[in-house]
Amino acid sequence: MREITAEHLPDLARGAAVLGAGGGGDPYIGRLLAQRALGRHGPVALVGVDEIDDGALVIPTAFMGAPTVVLEKLPAGDELLAALRAVEELLGRRATHTVSLEAGGLNSMTPFVAAAEAGVPLIDADGMGRAFPELQMLLPTLGGVPASPMALADERGNAVVLRTADNVWAERLARASTVEMGCTAAVSLYVLTGRQVKDHMVPGTLSLCERVGRAVREARTERGDPVAAAAAVLRGRLVFTGRISDVLRSTRGGFARGTARLAGLSGDTGATLELSFQNENLVAARDGEVVVSVPDLICVLDTDTGEPVTTETLRYGLRVSVLGAPCDPRWRSPEGLALAGPGYFGYAHDYVPLSVTDVG
């Protein structure tokens, strides 16, 4: 167990946004919300998965919706606790712990808000090892854990509780409510036992986020290469450096969808990289050839500062470096690829695991 205070948050949020692979929300907003909660309620206890009992009652929270909208419609913050409490009320039991569902600038910070407000420890883990756009895309789904009972809450006091036939129906019905609530909602779902956290989640994600965030900051301070530093911690590799020449973005069906085109610089001069995204970066294609594909991570960083660039902040003229990083090996199984592989997102290419022979 370690205590997380406000001073830990900047590295954590930065690293979480890198692991968010373009999605998972804005790290600045995530950090502000967590800072405010820690300021009001004191530090949060971060515990390892090996420190929790198998019988622990773990209730996660997150924000759902289009990250483009979160930028304009700041969460009030107490929707998260409202969603958590709605699930507790259904179960007739209080959470003993909470946990992050995905790695992301917002959604790895909001669990600190929920932990601080509910007064429970936060488990150092997440459900994906990255961020994904749809809520059934969690390793616990592969492990047979139901997403529902699930609650959604908004800033007006509306609450929606779902019990669904399966996790895809949870996504469909929750997305419809989220869109109606104005394209963002606080959600609480995937109630887990301690045992299920150990069996089906990715351990150590928040510590990994912190190491990535710290590596970027230290490399910057020491005039080193922050992008290379992030790649080393992620065991990934640089796949492209370029300037954003084109961004096509629309917010449809509760998602931020689009493509961005990068004109190569340095070693990539003359080449073009196209990024396709649905909240998260899904495919990176160099001169028409896929070089990194979902479920592997495609992380866009500001080349100079190493700051993560989420899909909603991609903009013309920005000089960026694109990293590929391997996903959790469970995503590479046939079941994992069926749930969140390129075919699910409508791409025709087969998934080829990222080559990381040239790590570093």
Q: Which residues are at the interface with its own copies (CB under 8 A)?
A: 86, 156-165, 169, 172-173, 175-177, 179-181
CA distance 136 to 132: 9
What are the angstrom distances between the C-alpha of 68 and each of 21, 24, 73, 251?
15, 11, 9, 7
CA distance 159 to 147: 17
CA distance 234 to 226: 12
Tell me whether residue 263 is exposed, middle or buried, using C-beta atoms within 10 angstroms of its C-beta: 0 to 12, 13 to 18, 19 or more. middle
Residue with tokens 């493509």: 259
Rounded to a whole number of angstroms, the minimum distance from the CB of residue 66 to its own copies is 15
Rounded to a whole number of angstroms, the minimum distance from the CB of residue 272 to its own copies is 39
Rounded to a whole number of angstroms, the minimum distance from the CB of residue 184 to its own copies is 14
* 359, amino acid identity: V
Q: Count of CB atoms within 10 A of residue 328's CB?
A: 18
Rounded to a whole number of angstroms, the minimum distance from the CB of residue 117 to its own copies is 19
Q: Which of 179/229 has CB closer to its own copies?
A: 179
Q: Which of 86/291 has CB closer to its own copies?
A: 86
Q: Which of 86/113 has CB closer to its own copies?
A: 86
Q: Residue 97 gets which letter from DSSP?
A: B
Residue with tokens 């019988």: 55
Q: Which of 149/258 has CB closer to its own copies?
A: 149
Rounded to a whole number of angstroms, the minimum distance from the CB of residue 93 to its own copies is 15
Rounded to a whole number of angstroms, the minimum distance from the CB of residue 134 to its own copies is 14
Residue 88 host element (H or E): helix 78-91
Rounded to a whole number of angstroms, the minimum distance from the CB of residue 340 to its own copies is 21
Q: Which of 177/279 has CB closer to its own copies?
A: 177
Residue with tokens 């695991």: 353
Q: Which of 185/284 has CB closer to its own copies?
A: 185
Rounded to a whole number of angstroms, the minimum distance from the CB of residue 106 to its own copies is 23
CA distance 208 to 356: 18
With b meaning 16 or more CB within 10 Å and e meaning fewer, what string describes 9-24?
Answer: bbbbbbbbbbbbbbbb
Q: Which of 185/273 has CB closer to its own copies?
A: 185
Q: Count of CB atoms within 10 A of residue 243's CB?
A: 15
Q: Which of 88/126 has CB closer to its own copies?
A: 88
Q: Which of 89/225 has CB closer to its own copies?
A: 89
CA distance 45 to 43: 7
Rounded to a whole number of angstroms, the minimum distance from the CB of residue 174 to its own copies is 9
Residue with tokens 């096509």: 248
Q: Which of 164/311 has CB closer to its own copies?
A: 164
Residue with tokens 């080449």: 271
What is the three-class DSSP state of 206?
helix
Rounded to a whole number of angstroms, the minimum distance from the CB of residue 274 to its own copies is 32
Handedness of CA 92, 97, 103, 109 (dihedral sign): positive
Question: How does DSSP assign 168-182, residue by residue?
Answer: HHHHHHHHHHHHHTT
